[in-house]
């Protein structure tokens, strides 16, 4: 901790020095008597002042929560010496909100005593938020010297994004042999009833329809549609993050990806993630409750990272994109590298749906002629990119109004050739 003199110490020294100098120079004992209490206070206060031995810790009642939830942070102060007055201020991440009066408080701690203070926080944004560090200010005896320091005590709280609950999922172009909620057109073992046919050699007795058999006097068996699942890969363009009035493009992408992932995982589909930006990361497609937590942990670490280094989709290892997987991309269509990667996926046979997270309506144009010309060229450039994606088989939809707006436009998805691995 760093010691510093307070204005009170400077004032006392100045008054006492002037009084003593005036009393000795002018021969006035009254001035010396006036300075005596000040000098005694300085001697006693500074004599007892030394670096305090104290500590502080912080704890939170939860380590995971959802946006909008309330969090309680408890600060514990310990002092191992004579009673001292402590002022405490708490550092918080931008995603945590607390009233200004609740972030700082004063305690009198000493003689091995312990004090606790609980602060009410609110998680306002998704991400890995931190509570801490703790700033301490300790006043010495007489408040002549102040000790200030920062204790690097932090607690991490993972705030999960609040996603929109989807009423319908994305249409599948190709189903897999794993059990899921999609009904196949073929006839085989399953739960969904299809039709009845006469008994043939090799049919299971369990599939015999006794009502039809008793009416026709011939054995008939039930046929069903087998249950299948689909593979969905979420592609997040993290090259840039444009701030808008309704939220940043990265925020829209994370919330949309979370909503789509939660919906398809509830319907027993396999979901994978690809973060394509300055740092390329991926999560292999899988299913189950444990994979839900892996997806959420993955989304919490998604950040916009700009880089001039070329990142091609071919850098992803084989197996990252399963064969026939439906690729749902969230991109503002700003960086050319992300656009080329999506076009490459479409040309390789993957069914790709690109949701544009940048609302052109929220981008205002200047009043002068040059600004209007630049705005028109920017709109034309975006139209060219969407046309290029369409030529590669990529369907582009506007997702500025939310994921529901983009899903409403997806009436059906035309089956595409089997994608290469």
Q: Is the pLDDT of residue 415 over 60?
A: no
Q: Is the pLDDT of residue 404 over 70?
A: no
Q: What is the mean pLDDT of residues 168-183?
A: 54
282 CB neighbour count, 10 Å cutoff? 18
Burial of 47 (0-12, 13-18, 19+ CB in 10 A): exposed
HSE, CB side, 13 Å, CA atoms: give it for residue 20. 11
pLDDT score of 95: 87
The domain made up of 231-408 is a member of CATH 1.20.120: no
The Cα–Cα gap between 235 and 200 comes to: 48
Lowest mean pLDDT among 112-121, 306-315, 370-379: 306-315
Among 183-197, 213-227, 285-299, name the most confident range. Answer: 285-299
- The answer to whether 161 and 139 have CB atoms below 8 angstroms apart is no
The domain made up of 54-160 is a member of CATH 1.10.1660.10: no
pLDDT score of 88: 85
Among 69-83, 225-239, 361-375, 402-416, name the most confident range. Answer: 361-375
Kindly report the pTM of this predicted structure: 0.69
The Cα–Cα gap between 407 and 398 comes to: 10
* Three-class SS state of 62: coil
The Cα–Cα gap between 187 and 401 comes to: 41
pLDDT score of 324: 77
Q: What is the mean pLDDT of residues 252-262?
A: 85
Q: Percent of the chain at pLDDT above 70?
A: 80
Q: To which H or E segment does residue 325 belong? A: none
Q: Which residues contact 151 (CB under 8 A, 6 or more apart)?
A: 55, 56, 133, 134, 135, 136
Lowest mean pLDDT among 49-53, 173-177, 347-351: 173-177
- Write a three-state SS string for 372-420: HHHHHHHHHHHHHHHHHHHHCCEEEEECCCCHHHHHHCCCCCCCCCCCC
Lowest mean pLDDT among 120-124, 261-265, 353-357: 261-265
Backbone angles phi, psi at 333, to 5 degrees: 55, 45
Higher-scoring residue by pLDDT: 31, 53: 31
- The residue extents of the domains of the chain are 2-48, 54-160, 196-225, 231-408
């Amino acid at each position: 901790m760093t010691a510093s003199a307070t204005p009170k110490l400077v004032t006392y020294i100045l008054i006492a020095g002037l009084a003593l100098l005036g009393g000795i120079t002018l021969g006035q004992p009254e001035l010396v008597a006036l300075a005596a209490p000040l000098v005694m206070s300085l001697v006693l206060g500074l004599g007892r002042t030394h670096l305090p031995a104290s500590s502080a810790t912080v704890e939170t009642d939860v380590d995971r929560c959802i946006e909008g939830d309330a969090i309680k942070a408890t600060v514990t102060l310990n002092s191992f010496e004579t009673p001292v007055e402590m002022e405490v201020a708490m550092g918080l991440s931008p995603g945590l909100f607390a009233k200004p009066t609740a972030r700082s408080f004063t305690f009198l701690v000493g003689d091995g005593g312990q004090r606790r203070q609980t602060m009410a926080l609110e998680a306002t944004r998704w991400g890995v938020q931190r509570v801490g560090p703790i700033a301490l200010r300790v006043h010495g005896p007489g408040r002549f010297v102040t000790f200030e320091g920062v204790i690097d005590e932090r607690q991490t709280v993972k705030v999960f994004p609040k996603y929109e609950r989807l009423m319908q999922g994305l249409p599948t172009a190709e189903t897999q042999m794993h059990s899921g909620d999609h009904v196949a057109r073929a006839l085989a073992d399953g739960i969904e009833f299809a039709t009845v046919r006469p008994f043939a050699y090799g049919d299971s007795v369990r599939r015999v329809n006794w009502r039809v058999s008793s009416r026709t006097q011939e054995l008939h068996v039930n046929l069903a549609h087998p249950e299948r699942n689909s593979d969905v890969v979420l592609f997040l363009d993290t090259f840039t993050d444009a701030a808008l009035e309704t939220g940043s493009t990265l925020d829209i992408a994370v919330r949309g990806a979370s909503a789509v992932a939660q919906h398809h995982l509830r319907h027993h589909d396999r979901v994978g993630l690809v973060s394509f930006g300055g740092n390329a990361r991926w999560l292999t497609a899988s299913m189950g409750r444990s994979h839900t937590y892996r997806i959420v942990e993955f989304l919490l670490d998604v950040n916009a990272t700009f880089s001039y280094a070329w990142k091609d989709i071919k850098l992803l290892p084989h197996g990252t994109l399963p064969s026939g997987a439906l690729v749902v991309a969230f991109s503002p269509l700003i960086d050319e590298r992300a656009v080329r990667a999506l076009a490459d996926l479409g040309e390789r046979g993957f069914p790709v749906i690109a949701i544009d997270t940048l609302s052109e309506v929220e981008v205002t144009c200047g009043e002068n002629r040059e600004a209007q010309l630049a705005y028109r060229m920017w709109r034309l450039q975006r139209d060219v990119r969407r046309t290029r994606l369409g030529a590669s088989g990529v369907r582009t939809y506007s997702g500025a109004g939310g994921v529901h707006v983009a899903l409403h436009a997806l009436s059906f998805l035309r089956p595409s050739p089997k994608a290469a691995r």
